[in-house]
Amino acid sequence: MNLVRELEQTTIAGIGEDLYSFAASLFPICRSITGDGIRQTLAMIRDRIPLEIREVPSGTSVFDWTIPKEWNIRDAYIKAPDGRRIVDFQRSNLHVVNYSTPIHATLPLEELKTHLFTIPEHPEWIPYRTSYYKEDWGFCLSHNKMLELQEGEYEVCIDSTLADGHLSYGEYYLPGRSSDEVLISCHACHPSLANDNLSGITVATALAQHLSGRSLRYSYRFLFIPGTIGAITWLAQNRPLAQRIRHGLVLTCLGDAGGFHYKKSRRGTADIDRTVACILRDSGEPFEILNFSPYGYDERQYCSPGFNLPVGCLMRSVWGSFPEYHSSADDLTFIRPDSLAKSLRVSVAVIDALEQNRRYISQNPFCEPQLGRRNLYRSTGGESIGTEINARLWVLNLSDGENSLLDIAERSALPFSVIAEAADLMCQHGLLQPVEDLKDGPVVRC
Amino acid sequence: MNLVRELEQTTIAGIGEDLYSFAASLFPICRSITGDGIRQTLAMIRDRIPLEIREVPSGTSVFDWTIPKEWNIRDAYIKAPDGRRIVDFQRSNLHVVNYSTPIHATLPLEELKTHLFTIPEHPEWIPYRTSYYKEDWGFCLSHNKMLELQEGEYEVCIDSTLADGHLSYGEYYLPGRSSDEVLISCHACHPSLANDNLSGITVATALAQHLSGRSLRYSYRFLFIPGTIGAITWLAQNRPLAQRIRHGLVLTCLGDAGGFHYKKSRRGTADIDRTVACILRDSGEPFEILNFSPYGYDERQYCSPGFNLPVGCLMRSVWGSFPEYHSSADDLTFIRPDSLAKSLRVSVAVIDALEQNRRYISQNPFCEPQLGRRNLYRSTGGESIGTEINARLWVLNLSDGENSLLDIAERSALPFSVIAEAADLMCQHGLLQPVEDLKDGPVVRC
Amino acid sequence: MNLVRELEQTTIAGIGEDLYSFAASLFPICRSITGDGIRQTLAMIRDRIPLEIREVPSGTSVFDWTIPKEWNIRDAYIKAPDGRRIVDFQRSNLHVVNYSTPIHATLPLEELKTHLFTIPEHPEWIPYRTSYYKEDWGFCLSHNKMLELQEGEYEVCIDSTLADGHLSYGEYYLPGRSSDEVLISCHACHPSLANDNLSGITVATALAQHLSGRSLRYSYRFLFIPGTIGAITWLAQNRPLAQRIRHGLVLTCLGDAGGFHYKKSRRGTADIDRTVACILRDSGEPFEILNFSPYGYDERQYCSPGFNLPVGCLMRSVWGSFPEYHSSADDLTFIRPDSLAKSLRVSVAVIDALEQNRRYISQNPFCEPQLGRRNLYRSTGGESIGTEINARLWVLNLSDGENSLLDIAERSALPFSVIAEAADLMCQHGLLQPVEDLKDGPVVRC
């Protein structure tokens, strides 16, 4: 199996367009951590993969937290003293502070201003703000628009409901030969914001589609969840399952033009950390590896000390570090088909490496086996050898049962895929024997 | 307790002036490794802290060494052939080689010269030389003065005594809740030399004053001792006590204008090594961390292989590396009140960190606790967080019982004091529980 | 014993000339992995050291390999259509692909060309090519000469034999006090090529001569073997002996003008790896330390996973990386007497360090011993100390039974030889006691 090669048999350009158009169709929906927006989003993902949609009632205790009331919104606006709708939810769902309580009132400008949010440094952009756990209301608007506001009485209306209901999330479990799992998690709670995180949703969906129907070594679990509370909910209700997670990735901000960033798990030297670093090294794309920190996306929860799961976060530009972050500038012009496609490609290559990575034991550990008589070496002596033969020597030399293919790829500085192909070839010639250490995973025969 | 903050409530300028004037009052005394000079010095320290003064008889065996005879001196001079006192102990006690045997004789210039020491590279300065363990006599003078000497007969007189007596040192033990100790050691045997080591004596004395009367976690032992032989004597006579030393600092050369230097203990990764490095990192002052080497001050003895104590050496300019070292140029113009005050501040901050450093265990290890409902988080979602909240996330995430606050400060790159304050706050809210691992030290409650 | 000092008592210039003239006398021989060329070479080495020459029959199984038939050659040529000998084995034995099967035929140019090898980038040089394990024939010639060839019928003649016989190699075992061994291995199968590897042969021979007749701590085994198959043969027939190898070096490419390169063993932190790095650091010569890789010379076999012996490879320019490699340009003008002599000097210094390296235990571990009363310290206090005294402090401080002299030389950044001399002096004064951990090696008394 070579997942990357199969991915490339379809046109990368076509994949990028598909990812982008899926993001575009999701863009207008007013998502939040609960409510019909995320439900509609999950339904659209289910059109592509057999997602199970879970509903957890408001008030449910999840560790230190409680599932909040469900929030839904139909309309919202601010009318100027002259009656014009100067801020209109119908034009951008970012205009309303997410989770705003309902209100219909008339206020003087001064009082109204205590409920307004702007970004003075980017006076044309509307910020994205939330108030999930403190009941309040507010509007977000461009700084320039706020500066134009004249003294007078303003009519504000937020036609929302905040009432007992459910938290919704989507889960797709793809069983493999082992019950050991790879977790792919992305948040699906942001309204009209493209990079954060329609990019993550679309790449995760396409990754699930690509893996679907294959014979896999690991089992895979895809979570499409509201940020923070969704991860906490899943972990609280699935503590035994969480122990099966051998590797995990949070996918976010994968559509912009920036280079790749991978934030390591709390462990720092987990296989997922080393695998992503190795695949990014091999990719030829610009990238940077970041140390773990406890602020971020749902790796915060997966890497809390009681779980300490080997889950890192794959991004292009880092959330919070690009100016468009959490503003109306993170729109469909900020993400690009080819960025999405390359992000998918890297994700697939990481999965491919996890699937192929194992330890082998040389069947001829004393001196080199004679590759020449097996036609696995160059025929004329005295000349130099190429990368393929070099990779064979590396896997034969280091396959003492201690070193994994990842260890060998790191130490040899050869691409993981070349090392894996060499191991496969040596295995076919009976020179290596694989070691299987996954739970319930039968030893793979060459 | 925040020792640094309390220190700063008094004026730093005032502290610097006090340290400097104490150094100035100690400067004229002709100290040596034994005798009335060091006794007088210890008495003046005892005016500030309740020092116990120990007297160990000459001839006492201390490991491979023997306490030497006691040396005292009243006067010394060289008279030129014309009868003028051209070298006069009354003008500078550096003029006599420390521990010189008594002599009163008349010598031709050529023979006299075999007993003279100068510094040709700094022809105006008088060197500081000693001959503790080889009975001999000599004079130190400026190179220029030596060049002026004319042929003729010279009268030399050293009115000293070298006879059975005692080695004197001062010890101040400040009991804390635990019998585990922090050692502060400085040599007090140099005559009129300011940076080496009146700076160490004054900073150590002020540190003892600052800690005195407080409720402390560790016990503290301050040693004011003659270099080498004093440390050997204390260790030989206190082997069981030495095993209580959990952290230690030798203080020397802390008054000049140079940046800080910290020489690590032989262990290299002891808590004291990491704590000083962290505090210097946080201080904003220029600094450098030096590896251990077996040449230096009394860390040589504390770090001998049989003891291998976690004792490092805090300095500004490194002894032996600045030209004024061991010469008359290391006088009261070479040290500065603000340098002494900042050295005290760093020392206090190190002690503060040792006192506060411990491991905690999160009481909500599964996922993050909900800081928002405790008013410990920003209220509006979507914006970035500040250093204080970030520090809270770090201590909660890493407090698994393995990581100390020092580990967390290092890994987060946040100041130790910010991490310690966050831990304290989290503790007050019941989110963390401290672990105490000091001997006899009761578990601290938040 | 100081092997380096004794080496320098003879003139280095003289040693270089001797090494070079030995290389020059070996140069014309047409060596291969079997046959009379290597036999003649071994006989010439035996004129200098008491080499035992082993003969292993063709067809013998050695791990995954089989000893090939023995190859010998008397003459070979290509005659142009006009009857001129345009390629002539008598002028350069590189002209024949090593191990070519016999042939005498007339061929058109086009067919001939499929048996010709050239180096287009260096059109004047003749390449060195082999075909040991695939029966074939061929000629090597300069690219320019090949371009001159006109259409027509060419007479080719290779007067060789490939028949059952023996593989020959030389072994010299020099017993020391311990049965633990140091292995020195070099390949002796290349025809008229100087740097690769007459340089290795001559340096290894001179090293054996230099060690011969001395009282040695380790036993030494010198192997002069055909590359790859020779090392495999020795390892296959001496598996128990191989377990005695505590340190080893493959010597190759030691005569050119380039800086030193040391390729570490597969273990990467073996004593031999650290020793060579330390000696090269001390040498003042330019050098580079390379990580292990499984392609190279016979370290490939010694470092195969079933053996994983601590054997590295000492070189000047790295095989394969200089243009003259495996071509007629690697001739006697490419190697230099002084390069050979300095390579020998480094090799001797490495052996010297292995012989002297051990752990010591301080007999005065509590505080420093008083060096002054033993006249091992400077007499006047206050001045700085020199390297010799510093080295004494280092060995006393770190000799806790854990640190070897190599550890101390690395940590102190002082030359190994200075550390070893200090340890010897401290030992003579009863301040250190050596620890012996070699098999059968009696504890050395100072």
| C293 reaches A (C-beta below 8 A) | yes
Are residues C105 and C156 in contact, defined by beta-carbon separation less than 8 angstroms? yes
Between chain A and chain B, the number of residue pairs with CB atoms below 8 A apart is 86
Angle C69-C75-C77 (CA atoms, 0-180°, nearest 5)? Answer: 115
* Distance in angstroms (rounded) separating the CA atoms of residues B104 and A297: 84
Percent of chain A at pLDDT > 70 equals 97
Average pLDDT, chain A: 95
Confidence of residue C146 (pLDDT cuts 50, 70, 90): very high
Q: How is residue C403 written in tokens?
A: 């640190």
pLDDT reading at C442 higher than 90: no
What is the DSSP pairing of strand C153-163 with strand B61-62? unpaired
Q: How is residue A350 written in tokens?
A: 């990481």
B42 membership: H or E segment, kind and range: helix B36-46
User: C280 exposed, middle or buried (CB, 10 Å; 0-12, 13-18, 19+)?
Assistant: buried
In this structure, what is the dihedral angle of CA atoms C300, C306, C307, C309, given to the nearest 10 degrees? 70
Contact B370 A133 (CB under 8 A): yes
Percent of chain A at pLDDT > 90 equals 92
Pick from A363, A428, A424, A425: nearest CA to A399: A363
* Distance in angstroms (rounded) separating the CA atoms of residues B301 and B292: 13
| CA dist list (Å): B140 to B86, B106, C56 | 12, 18, 79
Strand runs (DSSP E) across C17-98, as ranges?
52-57, 61-62, 65-66, 70-79, 85-88
pLDDT tens readout for residues A272-305? 999 999 999 999 999 999 999 999 999 999 999 9
Please give the distance of CA A22 from its chain centroid, rounded to a whole number. 16
Which residues of A, range 323-352, sit inside 8 Å of B by Cβ?
326
| C393 reaches B (C-beta below 8 A) | yes
| C321 reaches A (C-beta below 8 A) | no
What pLDDT shows up at residue B384? Answer: 79
Q: Which chains touch C (3 or more CB pairs under 8 A)?
A: A, B
| CA dist list (Å): A172 to A53, A224, B262 | 9, 9, 56
User: Closest residue of B to A307, CA-based?
Assistant: B366
What pLDDT shows up at residue B11? Answer: 63
- Bridge partners of B245, per DSSP, are B181
* Distance in angstroms (rounded) separating the CA atoms of residues C339 and C341: 5
Confidence of residue A380 (pLDDT cuts 50, 70, 90): confident
What pLDDT shows up at residue B13? Answer: 67
Distance from CA of C300 to the nearest CA of A (A): 7
What pLDDT shows up at residue A118? Answer: 97
pLDDT tens readout for residues C30-58? 999 999 999 999 999 999 999 999 999 99
Which residues of A, range 24-53, sit inside 8 Å of C by Cβ?
none
* Distance in angstroms (rounded) separating the CA atoms of residues A351 and A242: 19
Q: How is residue A4 written in tokens?
A: 């990357």
| B363 reaches A (C-beta below 8 A) | no
Contact B367 A308 (CB under 8 A): no
User: Closest residue of C to B129, CA-based?
Assistant: C382
What pLDDT shows up at residue C430? Answer: 97
Phi-psi sector, C228: left (phi>0), alpha (psi -120 to 50), beta: left
| C258 reaches A (C-beta below 8 A) | no
3-state secondary structure of B255: coil
Write the residue in B291, B306, B320 that is nearest to C366 by C-beta: B306
pLDDT reading at C441 higher than 70: no
Confidence of residue C13 (pLDDT cuts 50, 70, 90): low
Contact A64 B398 (CB under 8 A): no
What pLDDT shows up at residue A117? Answer: 97
What pLDDT shows up at residue B436? Answer: 79
Distance from CA of C2 to the nearest CA of B (A): 26
pLDDT tens readout for residues C59-110? 999 999 999 999 999 999 999 999 999 999 999 999 999 999 999 999 999 9
* Distance in angstroms (rounded) separating the CA atoms of residues A237 and C230: 64
Residues of chain B under the 50 pLDDT cut: none
3-state secondary structure of B361: strand
What pLDDT shows up at residue A154? Answer: 98
| A56 reaches B (C-beta below 8 A) | no
What pLDDT shows up at residue C47? Answer: 98
Contact B232 C368 (CB under 8 A): yes
What pLDDT shows up at residue A404? Answer: 97
Q: Give chain B positions within 8 Å (CB) of C366.
A: 63, 235-236, 239, 304, 306-307
Confidence of residue A413 (pLDDT cuts 50, 70, 90): very high
Chosen for mutation from B367, B383, B385, B398 (greatest number of chain A CBs closer than 10 Å) is: B367
3-state secondary structure of A352: helix
Distance from CA of A130 to the nearest CA of B (A): 5
Pick from B197, B237, B235, B223: nearest CA to B42: B223
Distance from CA of B420 to the nearest CA of A (A): 17
Q: What is the pTM of this model?
A: 0.94
pLDDT reading at A441 higher than 80: no
DSSP-assigned letters across all residues of B387-444: HHHHHHHHHHHHTEEEEEHHHHHHHH---HHHHHHHHHHHHHTTSEEEE--STT-PPP
Contact A231 B367 (CB under 8 A): yes
Buried/exposed code over A154-173 (b: 16+ C-beta within 10 A; e: otherwise): bbbbbebebeebbbbbbbbe
Residue A153: other Cβ atoms inside 10 A: 14
Residue pointed to by tokens 């191989």: C242
Are residues C273 and C279 in contact, defined by beta-carbon separation less than 8 angstroms? no
What pLDDT shows up at residue A442? Answer: 55
User: Closest residue of A to B378, CA-based?
Assistant: A131
Are residues B357 and B403 in contact, defined by beta-carbon separation less than 8 angstroms? no
Q: Give chain C positions within 8 Å (CB) of B134.
A: 372, 379
Q: Give chain A positions within 8 Å (CB) of B380.
A: 97, 117, 129-131, 138
pLDDT tens readout for residues A40-75? 999 999 999 999 999 999 999 999 999 999 999 999
| C129 reaches A (C-beta below 8 A) | yes
Contact C382 B303 (CB under 8 A): no
Contact A305 B384 (CB under 8 A): no
- Report DSSP state, residue A175: -
